Amino acid sequence: MNNTHFGIALLAGTSLIWGLSLVAQSMGMDHVGPFTFNAVRFFIGGLSLLPLFPLINYLQGRGKKAEQKKAPPILRDKLLLKASFYCGLVLFAAISCQQIGLIYTSIGKTGFITSLYILLVPLFGLMFGRRVSSRIWLCIAAAIAGMYLLCIKEALTLNLGDLFVLVCAVFSAAQILVIDRYAPLVNAVKLASLQFFVCSGLSAIAAAILEQPDLNAVFQGWLPLLYTGVFSSSVAYSMQIAGQKYVAPVLASLLLSLEAVFGALAGWLILGELLTPSERIGCFLIFVAILAAQLPGRMGLPAAKRKP
């Protein structure tokens, strides 16, 4: 398996985990507010990765002495802190808007509107001179059509929750691009852990101002908090950062859009929920779009390594 295939596998695994997370996020807010939920969730996520730091330091110390001479530890640490702050800030904005949106809108509409980042990523990329082939634009259009058929089961009208989720899609696109900037330059696990602490700290400040955090309520919602903290946060985001080392951002966004497909398939396999004909067509369109996007071409190549 070459690096590109490895990155694709990691991003597909990320979308699989995230496909199960929206239900857990919605259940968690039966007990606590959105900012309290995110503060606890991402603190758990950051904490669960800390035991890996000594092993990472040991492996880095053994393997990359030549690179360490070119980049002294203080410079590498400074870059890691900078990347963690920016990634954590954008993550806080995206996940807060999504969590608030879930209070007012359905999980299906949340999944569809959030997935619009697959259109926003190449649009933002154009601002930085990243051109996208016509084939990729067709793949994006097919994926969005598939998302609509899969996720939307009611009239597509925008309410307050939908607007929050739409803002979430904007910040989700920004997060993919920020990670694309820093993923090749720093360790994926360290970046994931530190960005979680940034996001958790910002969420805790917002919770203290806007909510009334209750420790008993946190304990009552321990199961969705534990799932989203360990799997949806620490495992999935680490896989996303590692995967984006080798996959261009537009293809990464298409792969991450599989989240909605995996969520629907999990409901079918685990909960016995039947897929309607339109939902099956939606899944098919998304799979075809992602496969077509990986055909040989510029956007299928690994993301280029960039200097800090």
pLDDT of residue 302: 40
Which pLDDT score is estimated for 156?
A: 61
What does the radius of gyration of the chain's CA atoms come to, in whole angstroms?
Answer: 19
CA separation (Å) from 305 to 39, 63, 181, 186, 271?
A: 33, 19, 9, 11, 43
Supply the pLDDT for residue 158. 66
Say if residues 20 and 263 touch (Cβ distance below 8 Å). Answer: yes
- The predicted model scores a pTM of 0.78
Distances (CA, A) of 159 to 152, 163, 255, 265, 282: 14, 6, 28, 27, 24
* pLDDT confidence of residue 197: 95
pLDDT at 58: 67
Locate the domains of the chain by residue range.
3-58+79-300
Distance of CA 188 to the CA centre of its chain: 14
The residue with tokens 């990472």 is 56
What is the full per-residue pLDDT of the chain (308 aa) written as tens digits? 578 889 889 998 998 888 777 677 777 778 888 899 999 999 999 999 988 888 777 666 655 544 444 455 545 678 999 999 999 999 999 989 988 887 887 766 777 777 788 888 888 877 777 777 888 888 888 888 887 887 776 666 667 888 898 899 899 989 999 998 898 888 888 999 999 999 999 999 999 999 888 889 889 888 889 988 998 888 998 899 989 988 888 888 888 888 877 777 766 676 566 677 887 888 788 878 877 776 655 444 344 444 44
